[in-house]
Structure 1
């Protein structure tokens, strides 16, 4: 030990002491005794006694240590602060995110007949993929992979138009689409078999030279609606030295069986994980959610802790689990995570803000209409953490003598003497005279028809894109580029819960009528 430096708060002076006098009577260095006790009354006064000396002060030799001493006046107090350990900060330059965008989207059918789930419009002008992408950008994570498989054309087009060189600065980062592919050999002929298998098939990407500094991998879903700072999430992962951290939220009884549920110990470590439990297994997963900060009333309504399907893995742990430990497991939620909980440090990160899993027609419909409420539980308007989407360069919406209550009207729409209540109207929508829309989500159109084209279609007895005169619509989702004629009534008066009528241009799911993309509903039709 060549030198020793200790910070003191006192009236002090600095004499010079010889190396031999820096030892105490037990032939120990002071640092050795200090390491054994942090009791200030014991080791601080011992330290003072060891250093109070002026003998041989002038004999300075090589290897001498400089010490800060207290005054010779014993009445003066000396305060020595206990050692402080600096918190390790999460460096997001060493974090990559993987957005899972390749699911078949069966639960969102028929909206996913031609589009991947992350490409489905939400909130009037956004796509679901914009949610995790924007959260990554706002959090400072600029290394982003998007895994795609089913109906990926519109998703790839949207990513290219929005995030490839359109003013969003990724610095040394990137956005890469990793599409499902087939390779020679029997194993290479398989498509993605699940969320974990999708990542496994691209493990080689994370062993590439440009990705060698990635320490943690963030795995995200492409069908959730929420605003989240992933910085806090990753910092929690680093602070707890977790192998895996799962973002969790409190949920109620009615939806608990739709998610993976967790139980944690007092330190936040997950001790039990059950994927979509039912019956007695579901009841066994009830917990006191006041322990995670919920008020008593909210805790009674939400007695379960659900996995959000958002994970942070240590990179080496992810590669180990997928390649060596569980090489045949295909899904994170039902296979990898439950097994890892038993063997590794898997932590829960409690997310307390708005979060909605848009995995069904009902949740998609309700989440969109909830945006029109005042105050809304979630909104896209936040100057500090904006949500990005493709620039369309559309003109402002034109509204002529309309009655609009609790609605979102997107860009480039034409509304003429109509009534819109508790509805979301997508881009380039056209509502003609006398139209009444209530509790409706209209996804808009990809292109305009000119006034001349509309007049020509009407003259031929055909239906232009949009909603025709005096049409009444309730409790409905209208997909893109649909043509709804005049004097049409879409209200599902009989209260049908499920129906498949693709030849007639519509489906009914959970009592919600869905007009299919590019469908034509003729004049005077009643649904």
Structure 2
């Protein structure tokens, strides 16, 4: 879900929160913990065989590449990644991309994957019960003597799309002498924040005092009043955090991004001693900590998207193809990293391509691609029309002789067959789509589950399953 906040950084915000004259905190004293997330039910069926951070995005990336790249570009080289559900492909991607011998060079830093496991003792016999519990179960790692110089720990989510300098975040944390700092975005009182038909908003909301200290934190509080339709949560003066008065009037709420920085000793004390039975940062640890700790708000004013649902994931991907970008993956100063695949250039033969991203190693023959993403190793045959579609691509190639043999046997090869028309669709990896297929959801079905037929429909978007086969002439 896209946050409703100013896309440009206000001058007042720059002067108050990004003080260039202040020396930056030392990245060597900062570690990050990236949470691999739960079962990813809101992104199902994309998470049926992979962890949420392993879901492909933007043609050649995975969601985990966003916080990983932000850490690298921020100078943070001590990175822990906590995984649990369907973590095989995520672990494989991390090993291929972010290791010392084969991937990025981190110098004296490290990337450690901490996979959920069972250990002796009562607490070790259960899986992660929440974000805080996931960190608590590996507290012995952070207490290890080799990590004694870590003073601040940044907690990150694996399913957001944004570009952020975490060291600016840490600097604000240090400048305000905070125990905890919560990164937040300004928001208005729109249906995006407070759904009229739903009991709660999609974000944790905060109330701050005149110094920017958080005095109330509510994770997904009740939304609108039934009597007048207004928010039940108090508005705040966001000019305290640097927004100009006119912008502060438009955006009277601040919502948590689920991105935090803790003093390391405070984090360990909260998890071990003060709240040993609290399992979640947003709904338990932070709301309790504001009562007796200095918990500060850090205003983030650039693009940020929580892409934890099929609808938000789909919209965020297609937005990357537009001419007037809200978010650009191609920033040479702060690039996004991913696994080096060593693929050949894409081959395009007499195609019509409008507002699209075509990834590496694709073969496109006399087809039309409009407002769509075509993932790595994709094959689009003659007469194919792709519109408003996110195609993830393939994990491997089939040779021309293999494709010819499959077609001769009446089987369907990987890719999209001749004269197939697809719109408003997410095509997971290795999908085999035959010729003369139409995928358009012309009946406007909002929700459907047809796993035996190889697809689901979520929020009106057709989602083709990984490795599925759609036979010639099928109409969805």
Query: Taking structure 2 as the reference length, what is the TM-score of the superposition?
Result: 0.90
1:258 and 2:210 equivalent?
A: no
Q: How far 1:282 sits from its partner (Å)?
A: 3.9
Provide the rounded CA distance (Å) in 2 between the counterparts of 1:195 and 1:320: 16
1:91 and 2:32 equivalent?
A: no
- Contact 1:224 1:358 (C-alpha < 8 Å) held by counterparts: yes
Secondary structure of residue in 2 paired with 1:254: coil
1:319 and 2:264 equivalent?
A: no
**Alignment CA distance shift 1:297-1:457 (3 Å):** farther
Correspondent of 1:268 among 206, 209, 212: 212
Provide the rounded CA distance (Å) in 1 between the counterparts of 2:245 and 2:464: 42
**Alignment CA distance shift 1:440-1:296 (3 Å):** farther
**Alignment CA distance shift 1:167-1:116 (3 Å):** closer
Alignment of 1:98-497 (within 5 A): 98-165=33-100, 166=102, 168-252=104-188, 253-256=190-193, 257-277=201-221, 278-280=223-225, 282-294=231-243, 302-497=251-446
Q: How far 1:292 sits from its partner (Å)?
A: 4.0
Provide the rounded CA distance (Å) in 1 between the counterparts of 2:441 and 2:346: 30
Greater RCO (Cα-Cα under 8 Å, separation 6 or more): 2
- Contact 2:96 2:103 (C-alpha < 8 Å) held by counterparts: no
Runs (5+) with no aligned partner, structure 1: 1-85
Deviates more, 1:256-265 or 1:505-514: 256-265
Secondary structure of residue in 1 paired with 2:314: helix
Secondary structure of residue in 1 paired with 2:207: strand
Q: How far 1:379 sits from its partner (Å)?
A: 1.1
Q: How far 1:293 sits from its partner (Å)?
A: 4.4
- Contact 1:497 1:508 (C-alpha < 8 Å) held by counterparts: yes
Provide the rounded CA distance (Å) in 2 between the counterparts of 1:133 and 1:170: 12
Secondary structure of residue in 1 paired with 2:289: helix
Q: How far 1:250 sits from its partner (Å)?
A: 1.7
Residue 61 of structure 1 aligns with which residue? none
Provide the rounded CA distance (Å) in 2 between the counterparts of 1:201 and 1:289: 36
Provide the rounded CA distance (Å) in 2 between the counterparts of 1:485 and 1:184: 52
Provide the rounded CA distance (Å) in 2 between the counterparts of 1:285 and 1:471: 52
Q: What CA RMSD, in Å, does the superposition of the two structures yield over aligned residues?
A: 1.5
**Alignment CA distance shift 1:89-1:417 (3 Å):** closer
Correspondent of 1:519 among 438, 461, 468: 468
**Alignment CA distance shift 1:403-1:148 (3 Å):** same
- Contact 2:204 2:255 (C-alpha < 8 Å) held by counterparts: yes
Structure with greater Cα Rg: 1
Runs (5+) with no aligned partner, structure 2: 1-20, 194-200
Aligned residues: 442
**Alignment CA distance shift 1:482-1:324 (3 Å):** same
Provide the rounded CA distance (Å) in 1 between the counterparts of 2:149 and 2:58: 37
Secondary structure of residue in 2 paired with 1:441: strand
Provide the rounded CA distance (Å) in 2 between the counterparts of 1:196 and 1:189: 17
Provide the rounded CA distance (Å) in 2 between the counterparts of 1:302 and 1:224: 21
Provide the rounded CA distance (Å) in 2 between the counterparts of 1:154 and 1:246: 30
Provide the rounded CA distance (Å) in 1 between the counterparts of 2:129 and 2:271: 13
